[in-house]
Amino acid sequence: MSSDEIDVTEFLNVDLDLRARVGLDELVAALAPAIAIHKTECEATVELAEQPQSVEDAILQFAGIVQSLPQHLRSIWDQSEMRRMNIGIQGGAQPRESHFGLSDNALSRLVSIRADLLFTVYASRSKK
């Protein structure tokens, strides 16, 4: 990092982590416009194709996609062993504090699709 760059705390993205014994290929394909960034036979990590503006935006987009799945794919979703929204935050020296919240609407929709929530905070990139 150059001396004129500020080490800023910021929202990076939300990954959707999935684990399912059956139907994962079909489920991941149906999550468009999200795209798989990592996939094995039983696990996948999916991101939205376009960078969301906020944590709220990402959660609402993912919830909307899941809520619009056809019934047979929604059954695969519901039977999955893991459905986790992993919120990535880059830690930085500025500002002194940062807030990344979710409205009651976003929380309700997250609960309605039975998804867990995880925050991953990456250490500051600054070198002292």
| 14-69 pLDDT, tens digit each | 999 999 988 899 999 999 888 888 999 899 999 999 999 999 999 999 999 999 99
Could you list the residue range(s) of the whole structural domain that residue 28 is in?
A: 18-84+104-118
Does residue 126 fall inside a structural domain? Answer: no
Helices and strands counted in the chain (H then E)? 4, 5
Does residue 90 fall inside a structural domain? Answer: no
- Quote the pLDDT of residue 104: 97
Does residue 30 fall inside a structural domain? Answer: yes
Does residue 89 fall inside a structural domain? Answer: no
68: which residues sit within 8 A by CB, 6+ positions away? Answer: none
Strand order in the sheet with 82-90: 34-39, 43-48, 10-19, 82-90, 116-122
CA–CA gap between residue 23 and residue 15 (Å, rounded): 19
Domain total in the chain: 1
Residues in the chain: 128
